[in-house]
Chain A
Amino acid sequence: MSIFERLRSPDRHSAHAAKERLQLVLVHDRADFPPGKLDALKDELVTVLSRHIEIDRAAVQITLTRDRNQQRLVADIPLAPARARRREAG
Chain B
Amino acid sequence: MTAMTATLTSGKGGVGKTTATANIGVALAAQGLRTVCLDADIGLRNLDVVMGLENRIVYDLVDVIEGRCKLRQALIKDKRLNDLYLLPAAQTRDKTAVSPQDMIRLVDELRAEFDWVLIDSPAGIERGFRNAIAPADMVLIVTNPEVSAVRDADRIIGLVEAEEKGPAKLIVNRMKPEMVRRGEMLGTDDILEVLAIELVGIVPEDETIVVASNQGSPAALDPRSRAGRAFRQIAQRLTGEQVPFDELEAKDGFFGRLSRLVKSGGEA
Contact = CB atoms under 8 A, between A and B. Distances in A.
Interface of A is mostly: helix
B10 to A, nearest CB: 16
Interface in B168-201: 179-187, 190, 194
B181 A1 contact: yes
Interface string B142-181: 0000110011001100100000000000000000000111
B183 A29 contact: no
A23 B186 CA distance: 12
A40 B179 CA distance: 39
Nearest to A9: B183
A52 interface: no
A15 B185 contact: yes
B76 to A, nearest CB: 40
Given A15-B185, A29-B154, A29-B155, A22 B147 contact: yes
Interface residues of B, number: 19
A44 interface: no
Contact of A23 (B146, B180, B194): B194
B158 A15 contact: no
A14 B187 CA distance: 12
A29 B158 CA distance: 11
A10 B190 CA distance: 14
A13 B183 contact: yes
A21 B148 CA distance: 10
Interface in B40-62: none
B252 interface: yes
Nearest to B152: A29
Given A29-B154, A29-B155, A30-B154, A22 B183 contact: no
Contacts of A14: 183-185
Interface residues of A, number: 16
A88 interface: no
A18 B186 contact: yes
Interface string A1-33: 100010000100111101101110110011000
Interface centre among B150, B155, B179, B183 (most CB of A within 10 A): B183
B147 A1 contact: no
Nearest to B253: A1
Contacts of A5: 182
B187 to A, nearest CB: 7
A78 B127 CA distance: 49
**The 4 A-B residue pairs with the shortest CB-CB distance in the complex, in nearest-first order:** A13-B183, A15-B183, A22-B147, A19-B190
28 contacts: A1-B181, A1-B182, A1-B252, A5-B182, A10-B183, A13-B182, A13-B183, A14-B183, A14-B184, A15-B179, A15-B190, A16-B183, A18-B146, A18-B147, A19-B186, A19-B194, A21-B147, A22-B147, A22-B186, A22-B194, A23-B194, A25-B147, A26-B151, A26-B154, A29-B151, A29-B154, A29-B155, A30-B158
